[in-house]
Structure 1
């Protein structure tokens, strides 16, 4: 293992925990001291009224990825020293594997005194989840979830078994995450969008509560998912899906689930979710699996909202969007040690903006709304990377700090450090862990009230084992405890007492507290109680949240009464999106009978939202009526709803809209055309509408799409006009693709012979963006023809060698001496500055241009101040070809508008100088070989069952049918080339990037 920092004495750690650090002038510290644990607290800002203590630091631990706190107050830590070692081969590795350690404060001073190694092995390298349940410890380390058991109580794992497997990547951040224990006695966990499928220990795909395979293949489920199961792993349920990287799930006493989710880098779309049961959460198009970036009707105007398809029917709303970040651990704080504003609230770590936050929640119709309050933030120290937060038995918080210049993303910048902090109140500096006696139900009930999950687990298990013996104390807690959350905890256990549970649930259904009525519904469903009579009684409950629960519970309920109950619920919809989505989830797969029952109740006076959300056979006809009655942008909403209708009749309904005689008929016709299948009958009305639409949209992307969709060769000359007018546009590139693939290649060849040199230049420019064999064939006809002036031929060579395949072909021409000599200087310039690293390396060696200048060490670069204005110019020259800042530049790699808030200079330098060591998930490159011989390289922007959208370097978008692909292989390395700038330019560039921060 790499040598750690010098040992830090308990004396220095003790004083690091107190007020002394508040007097340190952090700005005056040396870089080395800023990173030293003695000054850890000086770089942090704690909310007024709270106290932060340094509980532990290196060398006691390094790289804590996830933690749990047991009933003794000990902190269990998953270390990630070997984080993504297969992607960071230059980092020193520990061949014995990563550790799971136990840290204990034995004297109550708020500082860990003792460290034990519970388990060490390569099988837990970079584990991202730990859950301590008595003598069993559940560890999530993609692609597996392990159960480690200490059978003899010596704090050493004696056995290991697999609870679940996934198809996720080895040690992948977007795969399986931590397991947690719920108040209902179940286990909850999740995986991100690299989890792919949930398997048992024998690698057999598990089926969900409805008998459907849990596979993220887009047929039912897709992307990230949330799960519930029994303590032994049986009876797995899918509770939500279509997340990007849902990092951790937490449950409150009423059974409500909360979760965070990460956006694609730089899109300011990090979100917090209330996990509405069975919900689709909108990362990808629910029907096609297309990316959020794909063009669609009624697309959201703001990218952070567009990111989650929030305008689409069938998407659960977000509780809160927090901006840019890298969300990690999350909990619901149900203790009382912290100030009142944090009681019963979600508390969450976001490693990107270096902050631990609370999200005070209030009811909002059938859902919730929230605000943000910072508890602990790295305002001065951007290396503070909170990875997880847990509640200790005394109600204080323990925060794990990965402590690194970067934020995971397959990269680690520091292997020597890691910290744990304790957040408490000033009057509770001592870490006093309550002791609990579980020998009798009367004593165990106090442990059930603990804010600490591991303590509650022990109490829950004992009380559930006792059954009727525990009933009196649980019943007393249910009837008399003044805290409704404690009542709920008692109710969960009472519901599981054989022969008695239904009585308590029926009693709870009559509670004056809406949250307890909700808990009763949830607990009744878990014990499979017939709740239809209760739903009929509660169908007009004054709480929209209670009615939401009833709607969700009707999902897949075939009883005749279910449709009538749903219809009554639907009549009470008042525009609340949370309520509407609950209705939609409840009606799924039974839309025909449910909608019919609703329409019988309301006649023609139906609610527009209900129809918009519905997916019955009648829905297309009703949507058409709404379109005819609507004006302006409202029409877009109903046209988008057509995309979610599976019944084949929708094509005929759309065609009939050509005769709508709407005041905005031209726009209606355009929208109809956009939503028709290309193989619909070519009726006179369609032809007339198509002709008008082509005239109205000429020169736009809509025009190009129509020409492609309906294969209108008569409009090919118009595509050439677009190429001549704006060759850098997506319209020109898409137009050229149509011409090349569908019989218009001769028009491009003709343009290259035009007397107008600008037309020739623009045509070459577009062909260079295609990077195909056919395009290079046309470019060669100019490049090798000495009748063209040299400037045109030089441009042709540059465009020939602009793409992945082009650089390879140009290098082959040079190496085989098949390039005309007068083009040699240009070829040398193109090849020695190629973005494709393998070609550049060979060319530099071939031409003898290997640079002797070496970049200074990162530590020396960080210490220097750069020029922001110069750095911005360097960014424009080099980086804007692939990155955007505030909407300027090419949208290829992650957006960098707030990168300075996320990464300190150390990480920025490493990202630039060593891009292969930190490729953000979703930005991996792929090499596609097509059956026609073309090679395409880029990022997968979107993929459906029939089509892949590839974003190539430079921002060119290419759509390829799956049937056209011969092979697909992940590119070995980053598509971003390593920079070899002089130190001065590199320093200026990083200075500019470090100033790109979130506005305060």
Structure 2
């Protein structure tokens, strides 16, 4: 009898599978074992670390290492042996923790190793320790070299003798931001092309080579945040020795870690200005502008501009502006950190070939599975590991081990960096894998090309680096094995092989063949490889069926000097469908520096009658004077609604004034059915000095004002053209508007137009609610005129006491206002019935010198109470509804909760997702201990003798946009500034915790902790 062994084994496997299903079904009916109930102290113990976490079904999380072996891990890498390398931050902001043990010795680079395969580290070695790497934010292990990112420097440490100790320390780059800045240099990663990729945030500012020399790009542009052409955070690529540094994209806020997949696609996260729910995930178009600040002026996202986005999360990135690459995904609030592309097979299918990312602000590790969409992608969110009860879980980095398991570094703290740390001693590393997966890693043997090919397939980057280096060094001797890998069924293996084949002496042929490959991702890889190796492919792909391939072809045309480039660009532009912002921005990137020629070639082609909106988009996106009259023609089309076409007006901001002014003036002569709106928008975009002072123009301006009566544009025109006869209308806007920002803006224009007497007259006539609304609007302006007006109202007993008390509170907002109020107290000119309010304002002022004087003055009458320690406060029960009332009383004047409050300090809408109760208490009780980046105060002295204190929301060549307490913006002309000095304290008042009763504080924290996503 002959047995069909193959069929028999299939039968056995199927039977085992069915039994497993039945057993699983039976077991699934059993109630799950509830997690143990732990005290706060027990929850913090390493042995209970996993109990506070929730892992995706089908995976298991185990604790690999914890304190005391490691503490405060900021970044992580895993070498080819499966050893975990950690950068620690025991000395993070060590000025806040004087006298702790490691201050003198400095922070450590640790090597953790599991010797017996049980998934737990058995040894912890110190590779290097010194103050020069305090709070390093990046580590990349490349064979015996270790790249460590610690602003302002990037170091290369080399272990020359294999004893796991750094024997040599060299500088790779320097001059990147300040010491220990979270928004400066971040981690390096090895790309499939053999290059190093890395990034820095918006405090990186510039980058110098190891000798301190300024670095320029290939075209001679300074690589610095100067707007010529680069701004804010950037992504870089360079050779392994740091040479040939390229800026791959720019204008990010705090892009934490760039991840590169096998095809050369770049992915990363970016953090918003704290609390604005604008955290984003980006797919990177090479050379793209990602819109954190105004491309032309550098102005901040909150500065008024034409066609501003409707909501802050989108406004934050200038997404309505031509020249800004769209976001792949916006995830709301958070504090994004490390990212990796998972190109392994051990984790379930949804995570394969996708981003995996640490989001400590929401205590979660998650993936963003992408799908191709036109020339870009769409993405969703899939959680892998998250906190179920332990809000101290703060995943700072994620890495893939050689066996395909996922490792997570956990900073473990009540907060998320942000210039403060509450726990110095704890830190964890977790491993995520299918249940029962032993951690067995066999280091690669690289004696032959076949050995190296096997290692090149590994999901671990350090392993792939060694394989790539071996194969690259072998050259043609590895060609046969690389060919075999290129002919495999796995597209990512094929791409890795292509990068190496393209570098061979006959690499041109491989690239040319790959440009015709049936797989669009291989064709995209071939375009990138051709750009790096100098292979010419002419117009081969101009009509490629894949829009993604055509996108990549456009990106490769960036600053191309090929003779046929403009004609090819025009053909690619003609294939734009009018509904793909990724493709449109790729067109813009390709034409940069060559717009005149590209646009002229495009105009020779027939109009896109199938998608006329496509032609409109290209005109909007263009940067050539030839497009300006076409913009005007689109605006003046008879059936066009100017209010829906504000984007065309915004486009004029991206041209020199000399080119845009004649076209904008020409718009004023149009005969459109809604010409008044067109004129108003044109007046807003025009340079006021360029507008003729004629009766006809004056009449057009007046009609424009009428068109936008009651709207922001009305106030824009009044302020810009110094209109003096619209005070009644401005006053009515202050009274009628439900928008606090419009109220303050209109009051500012009213007072600048000499409307003080009108305000006083109206206050005298109006009911108390309306009068106090006016007083509040006056308080938002915080200039000399408003302070004089408030002081006048305070001293006049004809007004009600509640109104005068509110005027007192509004006077005590700004730097000079505190001084004015204190001078009234000290000079005994303050009415006695306002003394109680003045005391409350002054003794809790954020201006420290005034507060000290006021506390000393009022000490006999002051009421003090000692707070319990924070560890006791967190145990006290609080009332959420009561806490909301406290928020509205003490916090809403500077912070947003949803759509209520004032957008001055960081928004608190989802603060409960980011901070534990203890961290919230710390932030309120000791605001100086951790000032959010971007909200640091600056003190300005002006030529007229006035002083302004606030944080800088944006800065251009001509002015500084300062946000003062209450949220009102003040634009200071640089020509009027005498001095600018950093303010040493938080703009949040100290003593706020003792300004309220202890129960009010507990209620407030209970309410804030409930504000979650």
Q: TM-score w.r.t. structure 1 length? A: 0.92
What is the CA distance between 1:529 and its match in structure 2?
2.4
What is the CA distance between 1:823 and its match in structure 2?
5.9
Tell me which residue corresponds to 1:450.
Answer: 458
Tell me which residue corresponds to 1:213.
Answer: 222
Tell me which residue corresponds to 2:650.
Answer: 640
- Contact residue 570 and residue 601 of structure 2 kept, 8 A: yes
CA distance in 1, matches of 2:508, 2:877: 70
CA distance in 2, matches of 1:694, 1:997: 43
Tell me which residue corresponds to 1:487.
Answer: 494
- Contact residue 88 and residue 917 of structure 1 kept, 8 A: no
CA distance in 2, matches of 1:792, 1:269: 38
> Residues 825 and 552 (structure 1 numbering): CA distance in 2 closer, same or farther, change over 3 Å?
closer
> Residues 905 and 781 (structure 1 numbering): CA distance in 2 closer, same or farther, change over 3 Å?
closer
> Residues 279 and 235 (structure 1 numbering): CA distance in 2 closer, same or farther, change over 3 Å?
same
> Residues 23 and 125 (structure 1 numbering): CA distance in 2 closer, same or farther, change over 3 Å?
farther
2:178 to 158, 169, 174: 169
CA distance in 1, matches of 2:100, 2:847: 24
1:369 to 374, 378, 386: 378
Mapping of residues 296-311 of structure 1, within 5 Å: 296-311=305-320
CA distance in 1, matches of 2:366, 2:64: 19
CA distance in 2, matches of 1:996, 1:763: 31
Unaligned 5+ runs, structure 2: 1-30
Would you say 1:989 and 2:1004 are equivalent positions? Answer: yes
3-state SS of 1:461 partner: helix
What do residues 779-827 of structure 1 show as CA deviations (whole Å, max 9, x unaligned)?
A: 5555567888877766655544442222124334544666677765554
1:938 to 950, 955, 959: 950
3-state SS of 2:960 partner: strand
Tell me which residue corresponds to 1:843.
Answer: 854
- Contact residue 752 and residue 760 of structure 1 kept, 8 A: no
What do residues 697-720 of structure 1 show as CA deviations (whole Å, max 9, x unaligned)?
A: 334432221111112233356545
- Contact residue 92 and residue 134 of structure 2 kept, 8 A: yes
What is the CA distance between 1:451 and its match in structure 2?
0.7
What is the CA distance between 1:417 and its match in structure 2?
0.8
Tell me which residue corresponds to 2:5.
Answer: none
- Contact residue 617 and residue 647 of structure 1 kept, 8 A: no
3-state SS of 1:948 partner: strand
3-state SS of 1:602 partner: coil
3-state SS of 2:932 partner: coil
CA distance in 2, matches of 1:696, 1:591: 36
Tell me which residue corresponds to 1:804.
Answer: 815
- Contact residue 192 and residue 223 of structure 1 kept, 8 A: yes
What is the CA distance between 1:260 and its match in structure 2?
0.7
1:341 to 342, 350, 357: 350
> Residues 842 and 504 (structure 1 numbering): CA distance in 2 closer, same or farther, change over 3 Å?
same
Of the structure 1 ranges 247-256 and 647-656, higher mean CA displacement relative to structure 2 is found in 647-656
1:650 to 653, 657, 660: 660
> Residues 709 and 87 (structure 1 numbering): CA distance in 2 closer, same or farther, change over 3 Å?
farther
What do residues 9-39 of structure 1 show as CA deviations (whole Å, max 9, x unaligned)?
A: xxxxxxxxxxxxx987557211111111111
> Residues 115 and 761 (structure 1 numbering): CA distance in 2 closer, same or farther, change over 3 Å?
closer
What is the CA distance between 1:852 and its match in structure 2?
4.8
What is the CA distance between 1:237 and its match in structure 2?
0.4
Q: TM-score w.r.t. structure 2 length? A: 0.91
What do residues 208-231 of structure 1 show as CA deviations (whole Å, max 9, x unaligned)?
A: 132210111223111110000000
What is the CA distance between 1:135 and its match in structure 2?
1.1
1:677 to 662, 668, 687: 687
What do residues 225-258 of structure 1 show as CA deviations (whole Å, max 9, x unaligned)?
A: 0000000000000000011110000111111111
CA distance in 2, matches of 1:584, 1:524: 21
Of the structure 1 ranges 623-632 and 63-72, higher mean CA displacement relative to structure 2 is found in 623-632
> Residues 787 and 451 (structure 1 numbering): CA distance in 2 closer, same or farther, change over 3 Å?
closer
Would you say 1:465 and 2:473 are equivalent positions? Answer: yes
What do residues 518-571 of structure 1 show as CA deviations (whole Å, max 9, x unaligned)?
A: 11111111112233x2xx121111111111111111111122200011111111
2:431 to 422, 425, 443: 422
CA distance in 2, matches of 1:820, 1:402: 54
What is the CA distance between 1:995 and its match in structure 2?
1.3
3-state SS of 2:987 partner: coil
Tell me which residue corresponds to 1:10.
Answer: none
> Residues 788 and 509 (structure 1 numbering): CA distance in 2 closer, same or farther, change over 3 Å?
closer
> Residues 156 and 968 (structure 1 numbering): CA distance in 2 closer, same or farther, change over 3 Å?
same
3-state SS of 1:185 partner: coil
What is the CA distance between 1:467 and its match in structure 2?
1.2
CA distance in 2, matches of 1:76, 1:492: 28
> Residues 690 and 441 (structure 1 numbering): CA distance in 2 closer, same or farther, change over 3 Å?
same
CA distance in 1, matches of 2:644, 2:596: 25
- Contact residue 749 and residue 778 of structure 1 kept, 8 A: no
> Residues 635 and 72 (structure 1 numbering): CA distance in 2 closer, same or farther, change over 3 Å?
same
- Contact residue 69 and residue 391 of structure 1 kept, 8 A: yes
- Contact residue 125 and residue 171 of structure 1 kept, 8 A: yes
Tell me which residue corresponds to 2:322.
Answer: 313
Would you say 1:663 and 2:663 are equivalent positions? Answer: no
Mapping of residues 188-227 of structure 1, within 5 Å: 188-227=197-236
3-state SS of 2:564 partner: helix
What is the CA distance between 1:619 and its match in structure 2?
0.8
3-state SS of 1:897 partner: coil
1:600 to 589, 597, 604: 604
Tell me which residue corresponds to 2:67.
Answer: 58
> Residues 646 and 41 (structure 1 numbering): CA distance in 2 closer, same or farther, change over 3 Å?
same
- Contact residue 623 and residue 638 of structure 1 kept, 8 A: yes
- Contact residue 542 and residue 550 of structure 2 kept, 8 A: yes
- Contact residue 259 and residue 273 of structure 1 kept, 8 A: yes
Q: How many residues are matched?
A: 968
2:719 to 687, 708, 733: 708
Would you say 1:892 and 2:892 are equivalent positions? Answer: no
Tell me which residue corresponds to 1:591.
Answer: 595
What do residues 374-395 of structure 1 show as CA deviations (whole Å, max 9, x unaligned)?
A: 1111122111110000010111
3-state SS of 2:146 partner: strand
> Residues 792 and 581 (structure 1 numbering): CA distance in 2 closer, same or farther, change over 3 Å?
closer
> Residues 677 and 119 (structure 1 numbering): CA distance in 2 closer, same or farther, change over 3 Å?
same
Would you say 1:511 and 2:517 are equivalent positions? Answer: yes
CA distance in 2, matches of 1:303, 1:800: 29
- Contact residue 222 and residue 228 of structure 2 kept, 8 A: no
Unaligned 5+ runs, structure 1: 1-21
1:436 to 418, 441, 444: 444
Of the structure 1 ranges 942-951 and 697-706, higher mean CA displacement relative to structure 2 is found in 697-706
> Residues 788 and 456 (structure 1 numbering): CA distance in 2 closer, same or farther, change over 3 Å?
closer
What do residues 914-966 of structure 1 show as CA deviations (whole Å, max 9, x unaligned)?
A: 11112211121221111111111112222222122221111222121121111
